[in-house]
Structure 1
């Protein structure tokens, strides 16, 4: 590698041609970045004391072997953004000279010299005629500007907009044309040329501290896959797989969604969830472990990207699946995508029918919604879905999914109908994050002619107004304030209407029978076509009993909309792990050190504190230790004569132990699970030890380290 400081204009003039490799991202500098470059240029041009302004580095490698008679084009590894922006600025300046009919200003500043020195190779033809060749749409747009020809059908908006911006800036400052030229002449870069035989472009590319737009994980991954290939194979794989994938995402969505897709893809492939800031690192590790060639990898990514677009971007063609994926998006169930990517892949491989995929998607939806209603923390969902497909029996796919959901442990459980119906009747659903979602699903379940819920507003049958009218107070009874507080935002009191302003805070009987539209047609609850309002016309009095009765009915409907898996007992038992079928074989009496005395009292205090951490925690007595589990064991207790020896199931380097009580037992044989050991000898030590145990529990439950 050779790096030297170089004047930008001299650098452009001496270079035969720059080519942006096909795998590089499109030109993406914004107007703000262009204005910053302009501001720096003007400051340098106006101030004689400023000798130079550094704009960054340009890293390149020769496309092939050059000779005296034939200079090869230079492949740009880093610096595309500033190189393209500089070209647009020079092109705008040349155009200004041409339109205004200006002669030469300073040395080498005229329309002809700007074009022939820095934009074109005047003696060459075809693509070799141009100093800079961009990729894809960017190329055609830039060449149209340089040749003054019509724009291509899919012109690059960024190139067009930034070229127009520079034209505008030059026109605004045309009285300072000399300063503009002086500033341009003072721009300096670091010229970094790579040796094809000795330098690794990918490693250098990764280590560059660019002054432009930060590269996304997607940019890094694409470059990692394609950069080391021969140009012919690069072009083939890009045009056949990568470019169609970018088009499927859409230009704007690609930037937003591809990093997320790749994280889900890696989770589906490895069962491990990459840190959101280290997707590229995880991808490199994954790619290096593959046995196939690059074509196999790109083909697989392309296929999974099409699955992701179907689910996350609405490109699914099957109408029922398209609606189900829409509902998942509205519910914000991104954590399920790794599992659903595998499901969709199996669907494309013929292992499931579209109807079975639909049932799986609806089960995922029900699982997530029921847990949200039952206020079960969501921090275990990513781990649940990351490994779900690996536990399935693919020859009995749907049955296996149902059994897996039904057998999830308590913290990850699929809430039963009883739990779900109990909680949905009591939950504040008005302030629920997916309010329009649950109303739409409840209203449209079983309908062929769907109701567009967005055309309605949510109505509190018992009004929100704290100063209830006398009519309402009499209807509810002397306890009206408590009833309003307890039931106002709950399922039984909420509905939809197109006549919210007409209903206002009127008494129930008026809302039921007397509301009419502008033509005098009755539109009260008794005449509403909405399923949510069925039965309201037969209710005589809207009080606590009426709210509860309606909540009971709607909760029953909700249990059908968001259904739970149903399997025969003998079928489910066949999926139950063998150890779980036989139950626990040991008890407290099998541990003599815990029979009586100080160790028994200490153990009872510890077990009470551990079980109080969360309702999901279970206790299991084994032959040599007592295990406390959530996802799996997070702390194991080995009773000893004078202390309780605890094993924390976490890496030693992650434990926060300021008092230094923990011991690294990763290389030692010990009963219990984990690399961290700590002793508990008396009650005074319990608060500190519980702080250590809490770390192991939080880590297992998928805390902040998964982000």
Structure 2
């Protein structure tokens, strides 16, 4: 690599062509940035004491030293926005000199500016141009250079900025502008292909890429090291159609897709800001075209699910339901399922069953208030439990066996909770009421035109008629049941129903008696409204809900089969395997073991070759039996541990059996309470992260 301070026009001048690689971002400078550069150039040009204005770096390398052309092609790695903008200013200045030569007294003219800095005068075809942009930037810029009509879909940034410069050059500032351009300088960085790593230099020039999206960095990483023809082919065959498929959502969603893709492939969830680093690790040693082809395939799956690009109407409806429930953490799992569907491993019916199972699982948990902070890890490991020979049943059985914070709420729990939950303030209320109303309907009713109605009004000062109907405890009844399932319905006449009595709400035009909605069926059949009818209606609706959002319902016999298979798979070893688990050490272990298993129903014990692991979705503590003690490894960063007595040891980057950065020894029963305190921290940390 050779880096020198150089005059920008000197860098551009001479027979050469600067090529913007096809994978680089298109020209994107806004008017604000152009105005600032224009003013900086004028300021420098007006100040005779100013030696020059620094505009940044230009990093490039020659595509091939064996190029037979006399015009070397230089691929710009960094600096395309600056060079493109300066070329637009030079073009606008040359046009001014052509149109008003009598207003100018400078040592150049229209032809010199164009032939020195915009064209390779003796060349033909694309080599005629000193700067070769990509796609519509290229077409628009070349049309401006040749004074040709613009293409049908020109680059608005190129046009807008060029017109701005042209409109702001006048006889008053033209001298200063030319003098300022002559004094622009850059850090000219020339790379030698085969010796310098352009990607590493690109990252360092961009502050480790923080001004680029993770997707931009990944695209550049894949394509930068390829020959121009290979770059173009890979970009046009795979990457560009992928970007187009995401449309305006590319910037917002593509980083998330790559994170979920890597999670599905590696079993580890990278931080959203570290996706690029994780991708480099994952892709090391893989064939580039195979990798890009697979990314393209999975990106389409993700777009179909998250961006609702799915063509199949039934699958699209399922994906929309999942989006409504915000099951973003489930996408790594769903990507793997979608791939099985795409490969013909499962048919559409099984795919729909899986999607419904996930929808039911997440909705039931939301109704029952089960914490969601470890749901990402639940989905991360779920796919490995699928038996391809019995696809759906094996998945359903696995989920039905979940316990503790991972549990699939049973009908008993679900029905109990849905009857008393505040559903009016429930985030997915519209989704819930829509599914409830349309259960077993052949003709779908859109509830977008309806509003949620409280049968007992929300008004704290209920009318005398309402107080008499509810009885002397009317206030308690209102407070208890107001926002719950039994007291909520849908209506298109919310303002008409208002706070009226129950009888009037039933009989007025548009009232419950005239409503075609299934949700109002019970209300049409009763003449009074009180806590008895609220609870009776809630019971009926809750039973219906349990049929819509079904429990897996795998039989006890089948569950036993899968539970035994899971135990057999996870426990190749037994307590007898560990040499030091005898006598007092075994007694100590059994006491510790009992305390760990009592922390949460979801805790599982697995006997590994060299240690015993305790986990929910992943290990949180590993126990290594030793001759006179038990060595515990807590799977959490040492910096996150609360240990005011400094009882634990930091084993970060040290070789140890077991997982984690924290070590603690249990030598006697007196150590167990302290150990359990640390173990609880590790369990909480795993649930959070």
Classify the TM-score, shorter chain: 0.7 to 0.9
Cα distance in 2 for residues equivalent to 1:434 and 1:185: 62
Question: Is 1:229 matched up with 2:226?
Answer: yes
Question: Is 1:243 matched up with 2:237?
Answer: no
Structure 1 residues 372-398: Cα deviation after superposition (integer angstroms, max 9, x where no partner): 111111122111111222221112222
Give 1:547's aligned residue: 534
Give 1:698's aligned residue: 684
SS in 2 for 1:565: coil
The correspondence of residues 412-431 of structure 1 with structure 2, limited to 5 A, is: 412-431=406-425
Call closer, same or farther: CA 1:296–1:669 in 2, change over 3 Å.
closer
Give 2:148's aligned residue: 149
SS in 1 for 2:256: helix
Give 1:18 shift: 0.9
SS in 2 for 1:534: helix
The correspondence of residues 226-305 of structure 1 with structure 2, limited to 5 A, is: 226-250=223-247, 252-290=248-286, 293-305=287-299
TM-score (norm 1): 0.85
Give 2:578's aligned residue: none
Call closer, same or farther: CA 1:614–1:91 in 2, change over 3 Å.
farther
The correspondence of residues 606-625 of structure 1 with structure 2, limited to 5 A, is: 616=602
The correspondence of residues 319-358 of structure 1 with structure 2, limited to 5 A, is: 319-358=313-352
Tell me whether 48-57 or 177-186 shows the greater mean CA deviation: 177-186
Give 1:466's aligned residue: 460
Give 1:500's aligned residue: 494
Give 2:63's aligned residue: 63
Question: Is 1:576 matched up with 2:526?
Answer: no
Give 1:124 shift: 2.5
Cα distance in 2 for residues equivalent to 1:157 and 1:428: 51
Structure 1: runs of 5+ lacking an equivalent: 515-521
The correspondence of residues 96-135 of structure 1 with structure 2, limited to 5 A, is: 103-108=103-108, 111-135=110-134
Structure 1 residues 435-477: Cα deviation after superposition (integer angstroms, max 9, x where no partner): 3222222223333432222222222222222222222222222
Give 1:87's aligned residue: 87
SS in 2 for 1:495: strand
Call closer, same or farther: CA 1:422–1:91 in 2, change over 3 Å.
farther
RMSD: 3.8
SS in 2 for 1:269: helix
Question: Is 1:311 matched up with 2:297?
Answer: no
| Equivalent residues of 2:622, 2:659 under 8 A apart | yes
Structure 1 residues 601-624: Cα deviation after superposition (integer angstroms, max 9, x where no partner): x979x977x7886665579999x9
TM-score (norm 2): 0.87
Give 1:630 shift: 3.5
Call closer, same or farther: CA 1:474–1:144 in 2, change over 3 Å.
farther
Call closer, same or farther: CA 1:154–1:439 in 2, change over 3 Å.
farther
| Equivalent residues of 1:264, 1:338 under 8 A apart | yes
Call closer, same or farther: CA 1:322–1:218 in 2, change over 3 Å.
same
Tell me whether 340-349 or 561-570 shows the greater mean CA deviation: 561-570
Cα distance in 1 for residues equivalent to 2:96 and 2:409: 70
SS in 2 for 1:189: strand
Call closer, same or farther: CA 1:436–1:188 in 2, change over 3 Å.
farther
Give 1:661's aligned residue: 647
Cα distance in 2 for residues equivalent to 1:239 and 1:453: 44
Give 1:248 shift: 1.2
Call closer, same or farther: CA 1:363–1:10 in 2, change over 3 Å.
same
Give 1:518's aligned residue: none
Call closer, same or farther: CA 1:511–1:229 in 2, change over 3 Å.
same
| Equivalent residues of 1:56, 1:190 under 8 A apart | yes
Call closer, same or farther: CA 1:355–1:161 in 2, change over 3 Å.
farther
Give 2:635's aligned residue: 650
Give 1:218 shift: 0.9
Give 1:320 shift: 0.1
Give 1:523 shift: 0.9
Give 1:404's aligned residue: 398
Cα distance in 1 for residues equivalent to 2:297 and 2:626: 56
| Equivalent residues of 2:638, 2:662 under 8 A apart | no
| Equivalent residues of 2:264, 2:335 under 8 A apart | yes
Structure 1 residues 357-386: Cα deviation after superposition (integer angstroms, max 9, x where no partner): 111111111111111111111122111111
